[in-house]
Chains A and B, each alone.
Chain A
Amino acid sequence: MKTNKAYFFLLPAGVFFVVFTLTPIIMMGALSLFETNYITSEFVGLRNYIDALTSPDFRQSIVNSLFYCVFTITLGTFVPLAVALTAYRYSNAYRDIVRFAFYVPSLASGVVIANAWKWIFDCRKGLANYLLSVAGIEPVMWWGHQVTAIGIISLIVVNLWMGHWIILYLAVLTTVRKEVVDSARIDGANWQQIQTKILIPLISPWVLFIMLLEIISTFQIWENIYLLTSGGPANTTATVVYNIYETGFLRSQYGTASARSVILVVIVLGLALAKNRLEKRN
């Protein structure tokens, strides 16, 4: 076929892609070499990168993000795995209920879920502290400590995705032929053995895949931090993306923010390449 027609069909998508995706990528690299705010702009070479790597708040945000990962990986990867493995064992009806129940929160947005959880963990009048007081435990300042605040935010974020991972795990598990499980049973394997010897080896590449996805998305948590803690107390709950938002939009240091964005992109790129390699293997 005449090939020039193909370019004609590619045009609409191409224009949007070049202007609003490719150009910003190049701009990001260029801006990161300048000290820029609304009015002035000065070439500073790699100073923004050096600043980023030495600035305590950015370094802290990377450490915080890793801290979030601990929570998001356990809650977002292993809890759904346990749920899926259990649901797999029971009837279809039970599986449907589990799938649906975990899926419901993902219909709600981060804003909705954040609002719902926020008041439960309110330090003065929240339900969580009330329940603690009934149990005779001193009230906890949930948003005032790094561990509890990060834990709750992770739970909220993970809550939105859990349903998807359970559905995915179950889809993988149902590819195991029934005869395999049945014959293992006849051979005298108990459920524990079937799980560890048949199901988990089958599903482990997916577990790793979801783990990487969780790490990637964890570096980019922003919405819930904005709504719940604004990065506080003392910057201990800010992730990398929240830090970029602060430098870029609250302090209008576009150059600095761009350099930090480049660092974020490099981190995510590394993780994404690992993820793609896994995907190919699956």
Chain B
Amino acid sequence: MKYLIFALILILLFPLYWMIIGSIQPSAGVMKLPPNWIPRNITLVNFAYIVKETMIFRWTFNTIMLNTISLCIQLFCLVTAGYAFAAYKFVGKQVIYWIFVASLIIPWQGLLVSRYILMRHLYLLNTWFAIIALNAFAPISFVFIRNYFEKIPTSMIDSARIDGAREIRILFQIILPQCKPILGYLALHSYLTAFQDFFWPMLVLNDKRLFTLPLGIVHFLKTFTSTHGLLMHQQLLGYELAGGVLLLLPAIIIFVIFRKTFRQQFLAGGIKA
């Protein structure tokens, strides 16, 4: 059984290895059968072509920029709403919470069409705001935050109030510092997914200059396939593999920088949202 699992790991990880070594060989080398199991004639020609033909740096910058903006808005909305639930009793509290949770089980793909039409009516198509707006408030993250806030003793909030602290100050100076781990976790995952998702950005963005990295690479590969695909089958292979590697890079960088956080997640047995 032990060795069977190692075999399974090898099979599942092999495509990634194959992609990486394929991307650094000239296309003819990748297509060769029997294949080179170890890369030969290492070259960056595939990457050079993508860098030359596309706005890859701009797209990377866009992805980071776009996610930073939407993350700030998202965290602001989450923290304020979380505070409302933690520090107050108000009419409709249960009902509002119930509505948030109920909306969780509606698959977002089901809302694609109506959201798209809504964006068109609001003249938000082909703007970043169409993406930011959907990220701004995620009910799933709210459930996380609320559970987290509930652990903070209300006596702490009450005593701050008795000392005369204003509400905004309580939120930012007393509550927020205690939430760093969960906010960090949300931030980390938002950057990871920003480098993965392309479905919604693809639907709402037309202007190449606004693309995110995954959307840009998918778009480049799809266009290349439809224009030169048949004639330049070999080159296409190299570019597809290189494109995959370029998309993998940000995730690896994030993973390496924040490996401690990931490690904690392993130990806690947590799963991403």
* A interface residues, Cβ below 8 angstroms from B: 1, 3, 5-14, 16-17, 19-25, 27-28, 31, 79, 82-83, 86-87, 90, 94, 96, 98-105, 107-113, 115-120, 125, 127, 130, 159, 162, 164, 167-168, 170-172, 216, 219-220, 222-223, 227, 241, 244-245, 248-249, 254, 257-258, 261-262, 264-265, 268-269, 272-273, 276
Contacts and interface: CB of A to CB of B under 8 A. Distances in A.
B12 A27 contact: no
A244 B107 CA distance: 13
B114 A27 contact: yes
Given A13-B78, A102-B9, A20 B134 contact: yes
Nearest to B193: A109
B143 interface: no
Contacts of A164: 271-272
Interface string B225-237: 0000000000001
Interface in B160-210: 161, 167, 171, 192, 195-199, 203
Nearest to A156: B15
B13 A101 contact: yes
Given A105-B13, A111-B218, A127-B18, A9 B244 contact: no
A25 B103 contact: yes
Contacts of B44: none
Interface of B: 1-2, 5, 8-9, 12-13, 15-16, 18-19, 22, 30-31, 33-35, 73, 76-78, 80-81, 83-84, 87-91, 93, 96, 99-100, 103, 105-107, 109-118, 133-134, 136-137, 139, 142, 161, 167, 171, 192, 195-199, 203, 214, 217-218, 221, 237, 240-241, 243-245, 247-248, 251-252, 255, 266, 268-272
Given A108-B247, A111-B243, 9 more contacts: A3-B91, A12-B81, A24-B118, A28-B114, A107-B251, A108-B251, A220-B109, A273-B105, A276-B105
Given A27-B114, A119-B241, A265-B107, A130 B1 contact: no
A1 B81 CA distance: 16
A220 B107 contact: yes
Contact of B192 (A28, A31, A107): A107
A268 B133 contact: no
A115 B91 contact: no
A244 B86 CA distance: 40
A16 B255 contact: no
18 contacts: A5-B88, A6-B89, A7-B84, A9-B84, A13-B78, A20-B136, A22-B99, A24-B118, A31-B114, A107-B251, A116-B15, A118-B240, A119-B18, A119-B241, A130-B35, A167-B270, A171-B268, A268-B106
Q: Rank and list the top 6 A-B pairs by shortest CB-CB distance, nearest first.
A: A171-B269, A109-B196, A116-B15, A6-B88, A9-B84, A13-B81
A264 B269 contact: no
Contacts of A262: 110
A167 B269 contact: yes
Contacts of B87: 1, 6
Nearest to B244: A115
Nearest to B245: A112
Contact of B90 (A7, A120, A220): A7
Contacts of A216: 107
A112 B19 CA distance: 9
A127 B18 CA distance: 10
B106 A265 contact: yes
Contacts of A107: 192, 248, 251-252, 255
Nearest to B14: A120
B100 A117 contact: no
A127 B167 CA distance: 63
A244 B115 CA distance: 13
A115 B16 contact: no
Contacts of B270: 167
A9 B272 CA distance: 27
Contact of B12 (A102, A170, A172): A102
Given A7-B90, A28-B114, A103-B266, A110 B109 contact: no
A172 B270 CA distance: 11
Interface centre among A79, A83, A94, A109 (most CB of B within 10 A): A109
A6 B84 contact: yes
Contacts of A269: 105-106
Contacts of A7: 84, 90
Contacts of B198: 111, 223
Given A16-B133, A16-B136, A3 B271 contact: no
